[in-house]
Structure 1
Amino acid sequence: MDIETLIADRYRPVALLGRGGMGAVYEAEDTRLGRRVAVKVLSAIGGPSRDETALRRFVQEARALARIDHPSVVTLYDEGVHDGIPYLVMQLLDGVDLARLVQETGPLPPDAVCWVALGMARALGAAHEAGVLHRDVKPTNVGITGGGRVVLQDFGLARLAGESAITRFTGFVGTPQFMAPEIIRGAPPSRTADLYGLGACAYLMMTGQVPFGGDLSVGAVVEHAIGAGIPRLEHRRDLPYPRELRALVDRLCAQEAAARPRTADEVALLLAPLAGDGQVVLSEWVAGRLRDAAVKQVFDRYPPGALDAGAAPVGSPGPSGTPEYGWDEAGVPAQRAGHENPFRPLTLSDTTRRMVLGSMTPQDAASRLREAVTLVLRGRLQEAVQMLSAITQVCLSSLGPGHPTTLACQYWQAVCLARLGAGGPALELFSRVSAHIDQEK
């Protein structure tokens, strides 16, 4: 699907967030309600060769997903079929996934491990109560927001897409590193299989390593998974975690489903007393990374001197030809050299940026600026930073650094940085705006 295509005459793609075997995920604008959303386009079960039975099942399962109402489950807003391809419209969250969090920090502190696992358990409990199995619990499906909230996503997508569609790309319905051994052997999905995935994620958080090592082939991972299984943690004295936590993770990762806890609610009850200040720890780390990403977004977009008083208008940045983020076959973001932001891309895609830079007039820029200010006033600071950065590039190119619209964009960028806690960079930008204004007097 082209990123410039309006999906279902309503959702306008803004940036490609990821691509994998089932399709692609876009950040999009809901043109009716004026909000940002995530749109997952499931091309694996649509298109010219679509299966009508699979499409009917998609609608049924999507309705089941919509019944899950829990703060640790990503909210499903809408579903439909566009040009024969099913899509889901979901809540868009700023934050980092668990895989990247562990990659950045290594093993997590005990409170943080318990808080993430607790959020996952509560999410699975709500889903299981609604009759929905996740089927693919893994770190890239676990998000942590700037407020430290744990959000589990992609519920039931393995079922929505159907086994035949998924196995064409991966050979498995799920991820072998985090897949219960009975599922690998061909048993039907179950609640305890979801809990095994939770345990494998906890193992990653506590050791900093995927259960069977990151350098093994799929065949070798499967052999370990159905053989000796995930190494036990209970008697490892080198790990600074409560013994009861290590014992719980061992139970969750048990080879036999009957040896695992029976329900997610049981797991949550065991984890709740151990979570401590986990939310605060995660909130501070994620909020700091979001703040750093916003500062980079604001300042790294300008050529040297472009923000200084007296600078001449810069030329149109034009397309770079190389996006900041690539996406591998599994839909995992692959960072490019020089970019350290572990979150979803805050910048517009190259295709969209070319379109914006080539067609936006000064009047358009002023109109978009008003939209961005509305986002700031609503507290949607990451979205505002993204929009303001694109508008500022246009203004610098076509209007110059001293134009009132350019200065207004930079002022509101500074407001965003200040509210995100980046006081020094915000003050620097405020000072530059003031210098331009003083020069005009």
Structure 2
Amino acid sequence: MGDGVLIAGRYRRVGLLGRGGMGAVYEAEDTKLGRRVAVKVLSAIGGLSRDETVLRRFVQEARALARIDHPGVVTLYDEGLHEGTPFLVMQLLDGVDLARLVQEAGPLPPDVVCCVAAGMARALGAAHEAGVLHRDVKPTNVGITSGGRVVLQDFGLARLAGESAITRLTSFVGTPQFMAPEIIRGAPPGRTADLYGLGACAYLTMTGQVPFGGYLEVGAVVEHAIGAGIPRLEHRRDLPYPRELRALVDRLCAQEAALRPQSAEEVALLLAPLVGEGQAVLGELVAARLRDTAVEQVFERRPAGAVPGTPDPEGSPAPTGAPEYGWDDAAVPTQRAGAEDPFRPLTLSDTTRRMVLGSMTPQDAASRLREAVTLVLRGRLQEAVQMLTAITQVCLSSLGPGHPTTLACQYWQAVCLARLGAGGPALELFQRVNTHIDQEK
């Protein structure tokens, strides 16, 4: 399925965002409504017909998710079947995931930890109230927008995997680092299993490490998850967090489900007095990540420690740093020095050069530029930077550095950088544009 192909006759694939055990997720254009969306193609359960039980269950899960109306739950727009393979069409978020945030920022401040955990708890509470379990709460499924809003993704997909694809994949449904012990033992999931995942994510935000980071093999992780469990935090004096917060995380990570808080609402209430200015600080942290990413894209600076993208299953290369969207179910993060990125960080909407492969006429470039400018004017700066960067790279090679379209692309890149708070790089780019304009006079 190459870029430009229509999924279900409506969603034009723009670029690969990530892949994992369940399938792949793409950025796509909804040709009917003219908006960018995330399309999750569940290739691990492909080859279905309309009357199969697994497909009916998939539709039921999608409809249950669609009933959840909460700012902390990713919005589902559509579902369907494309050439026998189920897909979901979902909101494309403008931010980073919790894994990337902790990887780049390290342990988070106390009020930010509480803000993230409270946001997750409120979202889980809304889902549980609607009768939906998440079943795979982990950092790559926790999105955070530039405004500091916490949004959970991939609700219910683990159930579908557990009843279909996971048998063929011979791997766990979810990541053992964040999976409740009773689920590993084979018990049916409940609300407290989701809360265990919340606690394990909070452990990551407070320590900067996954719960069983010292163990590299899945077997060793599982052994400790169902044995000694997640190390307790309550008596750790080296952690600058309120004792009541550390005690709550310990309760959430308890081996026995009965010892954990029994509802997400209870967790949210316990965290509420500790949040303080957490959302504002969280928004600033995410904005800094987005700003740095935009500068790296515009000036083609590779982030430290970045690793090359791996091949797309369908043949095209994946963008460097592509997210896995929480679908790499067999992956176990590690903390080894020099190892590949243990969290597989999220860069939300990387269209890359593949968006504009092939020859581009000045008319084509101008059309793409107008689309990018519309994104800027709508405040969708992350998407705009990525699109403008791709167009600029093609314009530089096919039209030249002094062509008006090339200069216009660079001007709008600079506008994006300035609005993202990268004043120095924006000024550098403005000056570059002005130099070319002066030379043409």
- Deviations along 1:371-426, whole A, 9 cap, x unmatched? 11111111111111111112212222222222221111111111111111111211
Q: Kindly state the Cα deviation for residue 357 of structure 1 after the two structures are TM-superposed.
A: 3.7
Q: Kindly state the Cα deviation for residue 325 of structure 1 after the two structures are TM-superposed.
A: 3.5
Judged with a 3 Å threshold, the aligned counterparts in structure 2 of structure 1 residues 22 and 6 are, in CA distance, closer, same or farther, namely same
2-structure distance, mates of 1:128, 1:211: 25
Quick one: which of 299, 320, 324 aligns to 1:324? Answer: 320
Corresponding residue number in structure 2 for 1:294: 294
Corresponding residue number in structure 2 for 1:310: none
Q: Kindly state the Cα deviation for residue 322 of structure 1 after the two structures are TM-superposed.
A: 8.2
2-structure distance, mates of 1:74, 1:10: 21
Within 5 A, what are the aligned runs for 1:180-259?
A: 180-259=180-259
Judged with a 3 Å threshold, the aligned counterparts in structure 2 of structure 1 residues 17 and 347 are, in CA distance, closer, same or farther, namely closer
Divergent runs of 4+, >6 A: 48-51, 326-329, 331-337
In the alignment, does 2:57 pair up with 1:54?
no
Within 5 A, what are the aligned runs for 1:26-45?
A: 26-45=26-45
Judged with a 3 Å threshold, the aligned counterparts in structure 2 of structure 1 residues 321 and 5 are, in CA distance, closer, same or farther, namely closer
How many percent of aligned residue pairs carry the same amino acid? 83
Higher alpha-carbon Rg:
1
Judged with a 3 Å threshold, the aligned counterparts in structure 2 of structure 1 residues 336 and 79 are, in CA distance, closer, same or farther, namely farther
Within 5 A, what are the aligned runs for 1:384-403?
A: 384-403=384-403
2-structure distance, mates of 1:336, 1:373: 39
Judged with a 3 Å threshold, the aligned counterparts in structure 2 of structure 1 residues 349 and 423 are, in CA distance, closer, same or farther, namely closer
Opposite residue 245 of structure 2, the aligned amino acid is L
- Deviations along 1:26-78, whole A, 9 cap, x unmatched? 11111111111111000111226998110111111100000111111111111
2-structure distance, mates of 1:91, 1:322: 21
The answer to whether the Cα contact below 8 Å between 2:352 and 2:390 also exists between their aligned partners in 1 is no
Judged with a 3 Å threshold, the aligned counterparts in structure 2 of structure 1 residues 44 and 214 are, in CA distance, closer, same or farther, namely farther
- Deviations along 1:182-232, whole A, 9 cap, x unmatched? 111211110011111111111111122222234332222222222222222
Within 5 A, what are the aligned runs for 1:258-269?
A: 258-269=258-269
Q: TM-score, normalised by structure 1?
A: 0.88
Q: Kindly state the Cα deviation for residue 244 of structure 1 after the two structures are TM-superposed.
A: 0.7
The answer to whether the Cα contact below 8 Å between 2:99 and 2:345 also exists between their aligned partners in 1 is no
Q: Kindly state the Cα deviation for residue 324 of structure 1 after the two structures are TM-superposed.
A: 2.4
Q: Which has the higher contact order (CA 8 A, sep 6+)?
A: 2
Corresponding residue number in structure 2 for 1:313: none
The answer to whether the Cα contact below 8 Å between 2:161 and 2:173 also exists between their aligned partners in 1 is no
- Deviations along 1:303-339, whole A, 9 cap, x unmatched? xxxxxxxxxxxxxxxxx978524678927899999xx
Opposite residue 109 of structure 1, the aligned amino acid is P
Q: Kindly state the Cα deviation for residue 349 of structure 1 after the two structures are TM-superposed.
A: 4.5
Judged with a 3 Å threshold, the aligned counterparts in structure 2 of structure 1 residues 342 and 188 are, in CA distance, closer, same or farther, namely closer
Quick one: which of 347, 364, 367 aligns to 1:344? Answer: 347
Opposite residue 324 of structure 1, the aligned amino acid is T
Secondary structure of the equivalent of 2:391? Answer: helix
Judged with a 3 Å threshold, the aligned counterparts in structure 2 of structure 1 residues 208 and 347 are, in CA distance, closer, same or farther, namely closer
For structure 1, the residue ranges without an aligned partner over 5 or more in a row are 302-319
2-structure distance, mates of 1:48, 1:65: 21
Corresponding residue number in structure 1 for 2:309: none
The answer to whether the Cα contact below 8 Å between 1:143 and 1:151 also exists between their aligned partners in 2 is yes
Of 11-20 and 262-271, deviating more is: 11-20
Judged with a 3 Å threshold, the aligned counterparts in structure 2 of structure 1 residues 213 and 292 are, in CA distance, closer, same or farther, namely closer
Secondary structure of the equivalent of 2:204? Answer: helix
The answer to whether the Cα contact below 8 Å between 1:42 and 1:161 also exists between their aligned partners in 2 is no
In the alignment, does 2:115 pair up with 1:119?
no
Q: Kindly state the Cα deviation for residue 365 of structure 1 after the two structures are TM-superposed.
A: 0.8
The answer to whether the Cα contact below 8 Å between 1:54 and 1:161 also exists between their aligned partners in 2 is no
The answer to whether the Cα contact below 8 Å between 2:211 and 2:230 also exists between their aligned partners in 1 is yes
Corresponding residue number in structure 1 for 2:174: 174
In the alignment, does 2:281 pair up with 1:281?
yes
The answer to whether the Cα contact below 8 Å between 2:65 and 2:76 also exists between their aligned partners in 1 is yes
2-structure distance, mates of 1:358, 1:36: 22
2-structure distance, mates of 1:60, 1:327: 27
Opposite residue 132 of structure 2, the aligned amino acid is V
Q: Kindly state the Cα deviation for residue 347 of structure 1 after the two structures are TM-superposed.
A: 4.1
Q: TM-score, normalised by structure 2?
A: 0.88
TM-align CA RMSD: 2.7
For these two proteins, the number of residue pairs brought into alignment is 419
The answer to whether the Cα contact below 8 Å between 2:101 and 2:289 also exists between their aligned partners in 1 is no
